[in-house]
Amino acid sequence: MVCGRFFTGRLAQGQISVVMPANAGIHVFLVAKAWMAGTSPAMTESLFTAAAEFAARATCSKLTSFVRQEHPMPDSIPPFPDLPSSLHAERQGALALLRLARAEKRNALDDTTVLGIETFFTELPEDVKAVVISGEGEHFSAGLDLGELTKRDIAASIAHSRMWHRAFDTIEFGRVPVVCVLHGAVVGGGLELAAATHIRVAERTAYYALPEGSRGIYVGGGASVRLPRLIGTSRMMEMMLTGRTYDAAEGQALGLSHYVVEPGAGLPKAIELARRIADNEAMTNFAIMHVLPRIAEQDPASGYLMESLMAAIAAGDPQAQKRLRDFLQKRAPKTLRQ
């Protein structure tokens, strides 16, 4: 339907209520063209959803107030939802810093903590542009809280694993990029948590392991999907079968982390990176987080088309146009080797 300057619609997929400003007409046009060109409806709908989600989340304040009229918000919004004591969150400008705060149990991830992570990412304040995750104490995380595992039957175990998937999906496919700081043990579910984030900064003390094999269990927090993409199926098999640990330098060479820094330097480095990320256009960050991984999984022909559509949407954004003009008029920094 057309409502004033806004086009609104409701998609069945994910029950997302879509509100698009008039200038999002380009998105609709591109989607219609893709549809006519015989692109799969699923892909087209994904792109439509992507464009619409972005439009609904990140365009003008006029749109935001329109959305708020439809979905009134409480007058005073606390900076963060109520989190369990095993998590600590704080604001630093456009960043939110989330800390695993269960050092006495080596930041083992119990249900309360995993659900708290889901709540944190689901209810992230709108003005947060990037998140940094770190862990208190000597270790990032000892993985799944093994104490809770003994209490479940098969059906409950499946539901439990699916709960981890849901929670970590709110990180990987959430609203903003996430940088994590790794130190000490990054094992089992702790590595699964790290793998769901977008950038990993490891301190030299970090080491990686998947001890599930020796504990008689199997990964359940998404590692079977995410880790082979980072290090390959063969390496993951080796880690699980033999219990091998990799140190920080080896982990970086394998692709488990993007940076290795000295002990204590992880958080400042992660904050520096997160600030830089927060400075990007929201549209570009959205495309990198949500569209790029989907393209990487598509057949090449659909991927090229999806890339063209996304490139057109991004370049059409007024803020992108301004950034391009800034460079051409020598007001923006050059891309120099740092």
Interacting residue ranges for ligand 1HE, rule: CB under 6 A: 105-106, 108, 138-139, 142-147, 161, 164, 185, 187-189, 211-212, 215, 219-221
CA distances from 221 to 158, 167, 226, 312 (A): 11, 9, 9, 35
Least distance between ligand 1HE and beta carbon 268 (Å): 24
Residues whose CB is less than 8 angstroms from the CB of residue 305 and which lie 6 or more positions away in sequence, other chains included: 34, 37, 39
Structure tokens at 43: 């892909």
Are residues 202 and 182 in contact, defined by beta-carbon separation less than 8 angstroms?
Answer: yes
Least distance between ligand 1HE and beta carbon 99 (Å): 17
Catalytic residue among 118, 172, 192, 203: 192
Shorter beta-carbon distance to ligand 1HE: residue 107 or 302: 107
Shorter beta-carbon distance to ligand 1HE: residue 103 or 265: 103
Residues whose CB is less than 8 angstroms from the CB of residue 254 and which lie 6 or more positions away in sequence, other chains included: 230, 231, 235, 246
Shorter beta-carbon distance to ligand 1HE: residue 177 or 251: 251
Residues whose CB is less than 8 angstroms from the CB of residue 30 and which lie 6 or more positions away in sequence, other chains included: 47, 51, 309, 312, 313
Q: What are phi and psi of 288, to 5 degrees?
A: -65, -40
Shorter beta-carbon distance to ligand 1HE: residue 197 or 302: 197
Residue whose CB is nearest to ligand 1HE in the complex, by number: 188
Shorter beta-carbon distance to ligand 1HE: residue 118 or 145: 145
Least distance between ligand 1HE and beta carbon 322 (Å): 44
Least distance between ligand 1HE and beta carbon 219 (Å): 5
| Dist CA 218 CA 149 (whole Å) | 12
Are residues 226 and 192 in contact, defined by beta-carbon separation less than 8 angstroms?
Answer: yes
Shorter beta-carbon distance to ligand 1HE: residue 128 or 219: 219
Least distance between ligand 1HE and beta carbon 104 (Å): 6
For the question of residue 203 being annotated catalytic, the response is: no
- CA 94-181-239 angle, to 5 degrees, is 145
Catalytic residue among 53, 118, 172, 212: 212
Shorter beta-carbon distance to ligand 1HE: residue 52 or 219: 219
Q: 222 — alpha (psi -120 to 50), left (phi > 0) or beta? A: left
Structure tokens at 224: 């079977």
* DSSP element (H, E) containing 239: helix 233-242
| Dist CA 142 CA 303 (whole Å) | 38
Least distance between ligand 1HE and beta carbon 199 (Å): 22
| Dist CA 54 CA 287 (whole Å) | 9
| Dist CA 278 CA 188 (whole Å) | 30
Least distance between ligand 1HE and beta carbon 248 (Å): 15
For the question of residue 272 being annotated catalytic, the response is: no
Are residues 49 and 11 in contact, defined by beta-carbon separation less than 8 angstroms?
Answer: yes
Which residues have a catalytic role annotated? 192, 212
